[in-house]
Amino acid sequence: MGFAHLPQFFYSQFAVTPPKPTKDCTGKTVIITGANVGLGKEAARHYVRLNAERVIIACRSSEKGEAAKQDIEQSTGRKGAIEVWQLDLASYESVKQFAKRVNTLPRVDIMIENAGISTAKYSLAEDNESTITVNVVSTFLLALLVIPKLRETASKYNILPTLTIVSSEVHHFTSFPERKASSIFSTLNSKEEARMADRYNVSKFLEVVSIREIVKENPNLGEQLTLNFVNPGWCHSELMREISNHIIRLIQLIMCRTTEVGSRTLVDAGLRGQESHGKYLSDCRVEKCSVLVEGREGPEIQKRVWGELREKLEKIQPGVTKVLSA
């Protein structure tokens, strides 16, 4: 699965350079998760450079967040725009408390959910394998919990806020065999059945199909906010820190985009607007999802995945999914 996508992948990596963002962001409040390092940090730097009034860096370590803040302030020459808020996606309580704080803000124009993990080691976080908790369950829990603030911002300021989830083209490279199981998430969370080498790819696949089903089931959502998902390409980032294979490291050096170049896609997604609602963005343009997602099985897969994920979210926070149809 995914071999048909390889020509496009190589073309993007070698021949496409996403344009540097130039759109003025004066007055905007931007929240970026996982922004103490990597793509999130560079996206935050761009938004500060583009005059965003408030840029909130959300990360697990306040100390690392403060270091990122100082670095961005020094490089942009702007002080007072950045705030560091603590968020740990491995904890549902942390997600709830963070969202509660978000809902006290005067406005939120752009929310970019960038935080995620990639690991080949099986471990549990809350009630799932850790990758599933962080990349999928907590990511969507946070998204649903901040939608009321995005709606309020839309109504109060007559704008269309954007909620962007950072996905990846690696969703092209999984055959997602768990789709054949009677319970998808139970299979994913089983230590005996876990295919950790493919787990990050699967987590991104789950993000893609969940967003597509949310948009399909809630056609009026796009009138209140823009929900999109973006592929930054293969970039130098902290996600690759567990890789020790020297050949892969060499390939990375040759093929990977710089973190700054990759971050341009995140900024573009946050500013893309209504045309991107429910869409997969890659190289700063709307692209098709994987063959499995777009094909005959796709609608049934996304319906099942979102159905199971919705049940999980309702157990964590009863009534949370009702915001989609409000």
Amino acid in position 18: P
| Whether the Cβ atoms of residue 214 and residue 227 lie closer than 8 Å to each other | yes
Chain centre to alpha carbon of residue 37 = 15
Single out the catalytic residue among 28, 41, 69, 204: 204
Task: Tell me the backbone φ, ψ of residue 160, rounded to 5 degrees.
Answer: -120, 95
Single out the catalytic residue among 167, 210, 237, 290: 167
Amino acid in position 175: S
Structure tokens at 61: 């370590």
Which candidate, 209, 118, 205, 131, places its Cα nearest to that of 169?
A: 205
Could you confirm whether 237 is annotated as catalytic? no
Amino acid in position 276: S
Could you confirm whether 186 is annotated as catalytic? no
Q: Note the maximum CA span of the chain.
A: 55
Q: Cα separations (Å) of 202 from 42, 91, 188, 306? A: 26, 21, 9, 14
Could you confirm whether 167 is annotated as catalytic? yes
Single out the catalytic residue among 200, 203, 210, 237: 200
Task: Tell me the backbone φ, ψ of residue 320, rounded to 5 degrees.
Answer: -65, -30
Q: Say how far apart CA 219 and CA 231 lie, in whole Å.
A: 23
Place of tokens 């929310």: 111
Q: Say how far apart CA 138 and CA 315 lie, in whole Å.
A: 13
Cα angle for residues 91, 95, 99 (degrees, 5° grid): 170
Total Cβ atoms within 10 A of residue 287: 13
Chain centre to alpha carbon of residue 201 = 13
Q: Which residues are catalytic?
A: 167, 200, 204
